[in-house]
Amino acid sequence: MGREAVKTIDAAPDMVLAGVLVRRADEETLAFPTGVYDDPVRLLETEQPDVWLDLTTPDTVVSHVDLAFAHGVRPVVGATGYQEADLARWNDQASQTGIGGIACPNFAIGALLMMRFAKEAAKWMPRAEIIELHHDKKKDMPSGTAIRTAREMETEYEIPIHSVRLPGLVAHQEVLFGGTGETLTIRHDSLTRESFMPGVLVACRGVMQLRQMVYGLEHLLW
Amino acid sequence: MGREAVKTIDAAPDMVLAGVLVRRADEETLAFPTGVYDDPVRLLETEQPDVWLDLTTPDTVVSHVDLAFAHGVRPVVGATGYQEADLARWNDQASQTGIGGIACPNFAIGALLMMRFAKEAAKWMPRAEIIELHHDKKKDMPSGTAIRTAREMETEYEIPIHSVRLPGLVAHQEVLFGGTGETLTIRHDSLTRESFMPGVLVACRGVMQLRQMVYGLEHLLW
Amino acid sequence: MGREAVKTIDAAPDMVLAGVLVRRADEETLAFPTGVYDDPVRLLETEQPDVWLDLTTPDTVVSHVDLAFAHGVRPVVGATGYQEADLARWNDQASQTGIGGIACPNFAIGALLMMRFAKEAAKWMPRAEIIELHHDKKKDMPSGTAIRTAREMETEYEIPIHSVRLPGLVAHQEVLFGGTGETLTIRHDSLTRESFMPGVLVACRGVMQLRQMVYGLEHLLW
Amino acid sequence: MGREAVKTIDAAPDMVLAGVLVRRADEETLAFPTGVYDDPVRLLETEQPDVWLDLTTPDTVVSHVDLAFAHGVRPVVGATGYQEADLARWNDQASQTGIGGIACPNFAIGALLMMRFAKEAAKWMPRAEIIELHHDKKKDMPSGTAIRTAREMETEYEIPIHSVRLPGLVAHQEVLFGGTGETLTIRHDSLTRESFMPGVLVACRGVMQLRQMVYGLEHLLW
């Protein structure tokens, strides 16, 4: 996903790719169209970017975002692995400094629309079930998106979540609502990591206007 | 659909079934739990109902609704076959008299949610196609719902509508949106006429509060 | 389903509806186009039919089929509730007397095709899952069809069965196969009881040629 | 697809990747785990392979396959663009020389199962429609797979083919059958080119046993 973002941001007419943090430089990363760093502090201090887009891993994301705030750089957090307490601390830092930030558990606009519609439909058709389908290498179940969707729906009924894990699948979710004599289905299919790129651009642009820490790309969309 | 509505309204704790208009009285209609009429004027004058629910046919709906307004009775129009000019006249009558009315091209709440979500999704994922699927006895194509959905979506792209007609189908519509590396699908399946009954109740209740003529059940929903 | 079968058989040009067994005669059953009985023995002895089509309930089906064999009448068994031991006894009776019979856990040809294709696909794409979806009044889960489908598939992997119960659904089953970079889905949607009628006719015609007891309509189809 | 095949064949324990034909050698092709050629004759004469797997383009496939036969090498033809006359000539060459060959318009086993099941289902449920869905960069419509599927189905009814072209889609096909009160759906989703690799291996192995030219991977499968 990092590689995809490098291409996308480099191609965006209104952005400059300030630098790229890599775990280990290799042939491919050396071909990146900008400076490549393996130390986040050196990157922050040398390039002084406007935005810190973090697509790293659960073991590094928290320290990176802390560093970004410390250097006055707005974080766009795509990685997962941070806790409620981390979010609370970032909220405080953003409020005190006026440096906005955004944490996005999902960048795919179609997935965000699915969640939004599921929440709205549940008001009118409260009997529903979520089926999420992923490739068989996915470790966790149910998916984070399914859990968030169910939480948003808040009907008086419990919303079952069923997980399918099979080869050949990528990342899919279906929310099925049953009413009197009718059903409504909202389905999202994510086939490539490119699906996150329009959302990454929205986040990187939108974070420039924020004065606080925001959770969820939907705050920049509707 | 009329028979279904007779049962539904008779069972509603907050409504009284004032009378039923039938084309021809028979064993079944004589068993209806209320007075049965074959003349709309006699029904209106004898029963003096609050609401006129019209589930009749294109050849009668217009004169019925005109009669309802003339008798000061609020129309809920489920039948089709009226024209723009009829709607305009009813609008005038409602505005002048303060007697509200509602015309509902679709009573199924799931179908209305589908249209609403399709309209919203089209803002973010403007490339889309509508596939509507109906039993092979359906005469018209594309369906009225598909046409209304496409009109609502108003993207810069043309929205193709494809119609499938096969035995075994009832009434289904799928709106498929294609974005970068992802798709979003909104699908409605209507399996029995019961699916219209929750919407019929919403319309009959809601029309009591209206002071004008309204087009579309969605105005009473969200 | 019995009422549907009365209409269907009565309309079949090559069949005569010999008589109908009812639990309790009422206005509707009295209107049936043939003799109506509440005693199976009297029906069998009076009408001496070629075929006994049993669409009754778990508490009566076994004694009915025993009676049919005892009267030399070929049973077509659509009701459920019989046990392995009942089937074994009917097998014996059929073998000894040469009176054929057929027990059909499913009359819907589309459902039988689904099972057949699922069995075949599992040889090539052994990773699969079954999702069966039914209205929320259905008591048992998983459905008998899902259990039979999984049993037929016999891959080296376990086939998970997931059951969805929601209002608005009728009777649906999806078998999803995952392979390298591809998925294959076989789905059956049964919307009305009419879907069983073509299979009922196949069974009633085919049982005339049988000399043994057969389990599954597929034996008369392919 | 060529790159994918290089990896797959190189990894197959029972095959040796004899050489790779490239249009133009570059950094990536030079890293291939075998000899790289830009001249098919030099490849054929130097490496003397058992099998010629052709995944090239319409402008080169015919001359390549002719060359393969001329060098006594069994062709596995994945490229498209050959004509009926080419197939006829290859049939003759194979019959005369006993060198088998296979042309595979589709290597995806799931797609072949879909076509096979569609053909079988059409015998029992002859009313059907094919919907094929592809990314919006696909030039031709309807897809070759849809045309072949419809041709195989051969019912007394015409089978409509509808094509959907939208971004976010990859390669999908649905065959929808409508019967009395029921529908049956067979759907294939191809998400990556890896989906062709199991079929490529089947073809490369199977062609070794052929003594004639065969059209369609299904001849090696069932």
* Residue C34: partners with Cβ closer than 8 Å, 6 or more residues away: C6, C10, C17, C18, C19, C20
Least confident window among A176-185, D26-35, D137-146: D26-35
D118 has a chain B CB within 8 A of its CB: no
Best A153, A183, A186 member to test C by mutation, with max C CBs in 10 Å, is A183
**Residue bearing tokens 């009829």:** B86
Interior angle at CA A132, CA A222 and CA A136, nearest 5: 130
Residue C188's pLDDT is what? 98
- Report the alpha-carbon distance of residue A55 to residue A191 in Å, rounded: 19
Tell me the average pLDDT of chain C: 95
Give the burial class of D222: count Cβ atoms within 10 A of its Cβ; 0-12 exposed, 13-18 middle, 19 or more buried.
Answer: exposed
Which is catalytic among the residues A134, A137, A162, A188? A134
Tokens of D191: 């998400």
The DSSP secondary-structure symbol of B180 reads T
Question: Helix or strand or coil: residue D23?
Answer: coil
For chain A, list the contacting chains (3+ Cβ pairs, <8 Å): B, C, D
User: Using a CB-CB distance cutoff of 8 angstroms, which residues of chain D are in contact with residue A189?
Assistant: 168
- Inter-chain contact B166–D180, Cβ cutoff 8 Å? no
pLDDT band at D27 (very low <50, low <70, confident <90, very high): confident
D199 has a chain A CB within 8 A of its CB: no
Question: Helix or strand or coil: residue A38?
Answer: coil
Strand partners, A146: none
* Among candidate residues C193, C165, A179, the one with its CA nearest the CA of residue B190: A179
- Total CB pairs under 8 A between chain A and B: 114
- One fold for D2-103+195-221 and D109-191: no
Residue A195's pLDDT is what? 93
Best D173, D182, D183 member to test B by mutation, with max B CBs in 10 Å, is D183
Q: CATH 3.10.580.20: does it fit domain A109-191?
A: no
Residue D32's pLDDT is what? 84
pLDDT tens column, C4-37: 999 999 999 999 999 999 988 777 777 888 889 9
Strands D182-190 and D171-179, how do they pair?
Answer: antiparallel
Domain boundaries defined on chain A: 2-103+195-221, 109-191
Which is catalytic among the residues D7, D71, D138, D172? D138
Residue D180's pLDDT is what? 94
Give the burial class of D85: count Cβ atoms within 10 A of its Cβ; 0-12 exposed, 13-18 middle, 19 or more buried.
Answer: exposed
pLDDT tens column, C114-130: 999 999 999 999 999 99
Q: Which residue has the higher pLDDT, C88 or B156?
A: C88
Whether D145 has a pLDDT exceeding 90, the answer reads: yes
Query: Could you report the average pLDDT of every consecutive run of 10 residues in chain A (222 residues)?
Result: 93 96 83 90 97 95 97 96 95 96 96 97 97 94 95 92 97 97 97 93 97 95 91
Residue B1's pLDDT is what? 86
Residue C193's pLDDT is what? 87
Question: Helix or strand or coil: residue C24?
Answer: coil
For chain B, list the contacting chains (3+ Cβ pairs, <8 Å): A, C, D
Q: Which residue has the higher pLDDT, C207 or A154?
A: C207
The DSSP secondary-structure symbol of A141 reads S
Residue B56's pLDDT is what? 93
CA distance D9 to chain C (A): 15
- Inter-chain contact C179–D117, Cβ cutoff 8 Å? no
- H-helix segments, C13-172: 27-30, 40-47, 61-70, 84-97, 109-124, 144-153
CB-based burial, B69-84: b 16+ in 10 Å, e otherwise: bebebbbbbbbeebee
CA distance C69 to chain D (A): 31
Whether D25 has a pLDDT exceeding 80, the answer reads: no
Cis peptide bond prior to C160, omega within 30° of 0: no
Please state, in angstroms and as integers, the Cα–Cα distance from residue A88 to each residue in A94, B63, D9, following that order: 10, 65, 52
Residue A27's pLDDT is what? 78
CB-based burial, A138-164: b 16+ in 10 Å, e otherwise: eeeebbebbbbbbeebebeeebbbbbb
Residue C214's pLDDT is what? 96
Question: Helix or strand or coil: residue D171?
Answer: strand
Hey, what long-range contacts does C23-26 have (CB within 8 A, 24 or more apart)?
none
pLDDT band at D24 (very low <50, low <70, confident <90, very high): confident
Q: Is B134 a catalytic residue?
A: yes
Q: Is B71 a catalytic residue?
A: no
DSSP letter string, B189-215: EE-SGGGGHHHHHHHHHHGGG-SSEEE
Which is catalytic among the residues B71, B119, B138, B172? B138
In chain B, which among 142-171 make CB contacts under 8 A with chain C?
Answer: 168, 170
Q: What is the CATH number of domain D2-103+195-221?
A: 3.40.50.720
For chain B, which residues score pLDDT lower than 50?
Answer: none
Nearest CB to D193; choose among C179, C181, C186: C181
User: If you measure CA to CA, which chain B residue comes closest to A121?
Assistant: B113
Nearest CB to B191; choose among C110, C191, C195: C191
CA distance D94 to chain C (A): 29
User: Residue B44 CA to chain centroid, in angstroms?
Assistant: 22
Answer for the pair A100, A178: CB distance below 8 angstroms, yes or no.
no
D195 has a chain A CB within 8 A of its CB: yes
* Residue D84: partners with Cβ closer than 8 Å, 6 or more residues away: none
In chain B, which among 3-62 make CB contacts under 8 A with chain C?
Answer: none
Percent of chain C whose predicted confidence (pLDDT) is above 90: 88
- Total CB pairs under 8 A between chain B and D: 60
pLDDT tens column, D47-84: 999 999 999 999 999 999 999 999 999 999 999 999 99
Residue A172's pLDDT is what? 97
Residue A28's pLDDT is what? 79
Nearest CB to B180; choose among A114, A183, A197: A197
A95 residue type, one letter: S
User: Using a CB-CB distance cutoff of 8 angstroms, which residues of chain B are in contact with residue D121?
Assistant: none
pLDDT tens column, D92-131: 999 999 999 999 999 999 999 999 999 999 999 999 999 9
CA distance C67 to chain D (A): 32
B136 has a chain D CB within 8 A of its CB: yes
